[in-house]
Chains A and B, each alone.
Chain A
Amino acid sequence: MLFEYAVIGGILLGIFYALLAVGLNVVYGAQKIINLAHGDIIMLGGYGAWELYNTYHISPILSTIIVIPITVLFGYLLNRLIAPRLVKASDPEMLSLILFFGLSEVIQALASLVFGSAERSLPVSSIPTSRLVLFGQGYPATWWVSALVIIPLLAIFVIFLYRTSIGLQVRAVISDSVEAAVAGINSKRVSGIYFGIGFALAACAGVWGVFIFGGVSPTEGAAITITAFAIIVFGSLGNTLGTIAAGIIFGIFYQLAQVYIPSWSNLVPYALVIATMLIRPQGLFGRRQRIA
């Protein structure tokens, strides 16, 4: 019974982890950089939900939608600000790491100033509280409600990416931005939009992170970034569907670890990265690179 519970619970929780990681993957796809401030954007999403609930009594379900346009715009503007400088840099990867590390520190400091250092949490009663009963076992409301909100969000994102003309342009830019430009695609604009979408997905994850992590605090970003990074490495860098699948598998592993080896359960992200690097460096859903 506990095994089944861990697997189903892991899937529900894994859907959240998929969203947590997919934003990082999107930013990587848009600019080929690892956004070290990813966890901090998630943290800001959490504070957004907290503020909206406490000031305006807005449900976190609605907050998930509200944070999207704000963070898309923020991400887009940030991309337009930094992308030209990164392109001109002699070592853009290193510059981007430093830049996003700095951004992470700035966001963390600002969040401490604005929201204080104390952890903020939302009451469970701010979302539907009935537990989900499946096969005779009850699952916490926070798990199934978050899954219910996140699944359509991820579905819309996948449809956007694979079934719309702008999605096609995005994939063209991800594949080869120079060739995309030759084909008439405004790769700067497309990258900017996609970058903004990555931020928006992170912020949406932040709204539900308040429930899954038990609260939000200014310093949580780094640990979240590590978890998200482990998931995208496991699922293959740049592979959206791989990241979603990896998030769900991560959730299952984490829950199984809590049942069978609880003392070691927090090592799951690190174990995943090491195992992936040793066994399948290209990630679970990656293809071997063809040379020449």
Chain B
Amino acid sequence: MRKKTFPVIAASFGIALAACGSSSTSSSSSGSSGTSASNLPAAPAQITVGTTYSGSGSFATSSLPELAGLKFWIKTENAKGGVYVGGYKKRIPLKLIAYNDLSSATTAATLYNQLLTQDKVNIFVSDFGSVLTAPAVSLAQAHKVVLFDQTGTGIPFFTPQNKYIVLTDLPESSIWPNVLAKFLISKQIKNLAVLYGTNDFDASQATTLKSILSQNGINVAYYQGVPSSTTSYGTLLQTISASKPDAVLEFGYAANDTPFLQNVQSSGMHFKMVFTVFPGQLLSLFQQQVGTAGLAYTYTYGTNFYVNYPTVSEGLNSSQFKTQFAAAFPGQLNSLSLDGYNTGLVIQASLKNAKSLSQTDIRAGAAAASGHLNTLNGNFVINSEGAQTGELLPVAQLFPSSSGITLKAVYPASQATGSAVYPAPVG
């Protein structure tokens, strides 16, 4: 794996190289129309997988385990001789090219461009989350290269005009709050507060949720976007409290959810229901940072990390992955490492179905896998725009236990492993 030690220099070089390479044609984008068996080019010696990751900064805690999951998939496949490509009917070794974007969307854009124009990667994978995926979406579309979008779930990425994106690990943002909205309706909550980060990921969820709730006669008394870099919530909480909500929902990234939950605790306020996004994905980290008292009885999205999938059509099942990954990457096992591995499995299934390594065939391979691919992350289903519509996330609640905090899915009933406690007990 290559790393950029000097991001400023790298960025400058990237811009220069991008300018030089603007007229060149990426090998990975060659054959943007499908390839028939008769004119199939010779199989490459290796398939390059290009991505960026956040080695530091606000997204590092999510990005690094996701990268570790992807590395684990590559290691596993290379141990078998490479990934199987259907068009060539043989396995081809994988090579990872990963650059450090330092959690900066600007740096990520430059590095994505480098992956496409200089490294000419065969498989293009974006970094964690919508903020760092956004620059990759337009670049992939411009270069006609399929973007394997791991966790960038923002609605604007998926349009009928964009044929070069596949969301691999999570449902599109607009789908996330569907189950949550049904849960709120089932609890007969009449008045709630929504605070969200003004980025694609969080704003998409907030918009969808508000729309569903409004249609069902639920009043969203407080609905406010704040900058994604917000870490001080004391006054915002006071404003929320003034609206006397039955539930407070905060849509943010991990770097927002942590201070939000800490501020709720230190303000001494009590709400009947508090929901945040990331504790379900990074539970052990949140337990360290917020503590049992700050997390007790709050709600989050339950992820497939907490669901056992014993039977899968591709890759390892849930328990096999947890055992083998923990041994290979100690201390990095969480739902995001599972996502990174699952990205690999979607790529694997796409290549298995692909008639060649042309981007059109790879995209067609992903479409062919849709609905038939069952992994440790659930059923992979994408729509015509590449947005994931399977792998729905249940609503989960965090319960104090002898070991600290235990996550239990509480809605829908079909996935529930516990019963919701609403309103949350005081103290």
**Complex Cα spacing A125 to B261, Å:** 13
Segment touching A, from B54-62, B317-325, B407-415: B54-62
A255 contacts B235, C-beta separation under 8 Å = yes
Query: Within 8 Å of chain B (Cβ to Cβ): is A69?
Result: no
**Complex Cα spacing A129 to B226, Å:** 26
User: Which residues of B (235-271) have their CB < 8 Å from a CB of A?
Assistant: 235-236, 238-239, 242, 254-255, 258-260, 262-263, 265-269
Cross-chain contact of B58 among A10, A217, A259 (Cβ < 8 A): A217
- Contacts known (A219-B103, A259-B239, A265-B230); A117 close to B64, Cβ less than 8 A: yes
Q: A117-B64, A213-B259, A262-B236 are in contact. List 17 more A-B contacts (CB 8 A).
A: A1-B242, A13-B234, A117-B56, A119-B254, A124-B294, A125-B291, A125-B293, A138-B267, A140-B267, A141-B268, A213-B231, A213-B232, A214-B259, A258-B226, A258-B236, A259-B239, A265-B227
User: Which residues of A (1-31) have their CB < 8 Å from a CB of B?
Assistant: 1-2, 5-6, 9-10, 13
B266 contacts A118, C-beta separation under 8 Å = no
Q: For A217, what are the chain B residues with a Cβ–Cβ distance below 8 Å? A: 56-58, 60
Query: Within 8 Å of chain A (Cβ to Cβ): is B198?
Result: yes
Segment touching A, from B179-187, B282-290, B354-362, B417-425: B282-290
Query: Within 8 Å of chain A (Cβ to Cβ): is B216?
Result: no
Q: For A154, what are the chain B residues with a Cβ–Cβ distance below 8 Å? A: none
Q: For B82, what are the chain A residues with a Cβ–Cβ distance below 8 Å? A: none
Query: Within 8 Å of chain B (Cβ to Cβ): is A191?
Result: no
B269 contacts A138, C-beta separation under 8 Å = yes
**Complex Cα spacing A219 to B104, Å:** 11
**Complex Cα spacing A140 to B255, Å:** 19
Residue of A nearest to B238 (CB): A5
Cross-chain contact of B259 among A9, A125, A130, A215 (Cβ < 8 A): A215
Residue of A nearest to B259 (CB): A214
Query: Within 8 Å of chain B (Cβ to Cβ): is A90?
Result: no
Q: For A13, what are the chain B residues with a Cβ–Cβ distance below 8 Å? A: 232, 234
Residue of B nearest to A256 (CB): B235
Query: Within 8 Å of chain A (Cβ to Cβ): is B225?
Result: yes
A121 contacts B224, C-beta separation under 8 Å = no
Query: Within 8 Å of chain B (Cβ to Cβ): is A263?
Result: yes
Cross-chain contact of A117 among B55, B198, B225, B231 (Cβ < 8 A): B55
Query: Within 8 Å of chain A (Cβ to Cβ): is B229?
Result: yes
Chain A interface mostly helix, strand, loop or mixed? helix
**Complex Cα spacing A69 to B231, Å:** 29
Interface residue count on the B side (C-beta < 8 Å): 44
A121 contacts B56, C-beta separation under 8 Å = no
Residue of B nearest to A258 (CB): B235
A215 contacts B55, C-beta separation under 8 Å = no
Query: Within 8 Å of chain B (Cβ to Cβ): is A142?
Result: yes
Query: Within 8 Å of chain B (Cβ to Cβ): is A266?
Result: yes
Q: Enumerate 21 A-B pairs (CB-CB under 8 Å) in ascending A order.
A: A1-B242, A2-B235, A117-B57, A119-B255, A123-B289, A129-B265, A129-B268, A140-B267, A142-B266, A143-B266, A211-B262, A211-B266, A215-B255, A215-B259, A219-B102, A255-B234, A263-B224, A263-B227, A264-B227, A265-B226, A266-B227
**Complex Cα spacing A142 to B234, Å:** 10
A118 contacts B262, C-beta separation under 8 Å = no
**Complex Cα spacing A259 to B293, Å:** 27
**Complex Cα spacing A25 to B266, Å:** 31
User: Which residues of A (72-122) have their CB < 8 Å from a CB of B?
Assistant: 108, 112, 117-121
Q: For A285, what are the chain B residues with a Cβ–Cβ distance below 8 Å? A: none
**Complex Cα spacing A218 to B56, Å:** 7
Range of interface residues on A (Cβ < 8 Å): 35 or more
B226 contacts A262, C-beta separation under 8 Å = yes
B268 contacts A121, C-beta separation under 8 Å = no
Query: Within 8 Å of chain B (Cβ to Cβ): is A163?
Result: no
Interface 1/0 per residue, B307-349 and A, CB below 8 Å: 0000000000000000000000000000000000000000000
**Complex Cα spacing A112 to B102, Å:** 11
Query: Within 8 Å of chain B (Cβ to Cβ): is A137?
Result: yes
Q: Which of A108, A120, A141, A217 has the most CB of B within 10 A?
A: A217
B60 contacts A140, C-beta separation under 8 Å = no
**Complex Cα spacing A129 to B427, Å:** 12
**Complex Cα spacing A217 to B61, Å:** 10
A138 contacts B102, C-beta separation under 8 Å = no
Minimum CB–CB distance for B144 against chain A, Å: 34
Q: For A258, what are the chain B residues with a Cβ–Cβ distance below 8 Å? A: 226, 232, 235-236, 239
- Contacts known (A9-B234, A266-B230); A123 close to B290, Cβ less than 8 A: yes
Query: Within 8 Å of chain B (Cβ to Cβ): is A149?
Result: no
Minimum CB–CB distance for A146 against chain B, Å: 11
**Complex Cα spacing A107 to B418, Å:** 46
Query: Within 8 Å of chain B (Cβ to Cβ): is A139?
Result: yes
Minimum CB–CB distance for B115 against chain A, Å: 21
B239 contacts A2, C-beta separation under 8 Å = yes
Cross-chain contact of B289 among A119, A129, A254 (Cβ < 8 A): A119
Q: Which of A112, A259, A262 has the most CB of B within 10 A?
A: A262
**Complex Cα spacing A211 to B266, Å:** 10
- Contacts known (A6-B235, A137-B238); A262 close to B255, Cβ less than 8 A: no
**Complex Cα spacing A264 to B229, Å:** 11
Q: For A272, what are the chain B residues with a Cβ–Cβ distance below 8 Å? A: none
Q: For A139, what are the chain B residues with a Cβ–Cβ distance below 8 Å? A: 234, 267
B258 contacts A215, C-beta separation under 8 Å = yes
A124 contacts B266, C-beta separation under 8 Å = yes
Minimum CB–CB distance for B68 against chain A, Å: 13
Q: For A57, what are the chain B residues with a Cβ–Cβ distance below 8 Å? A: none
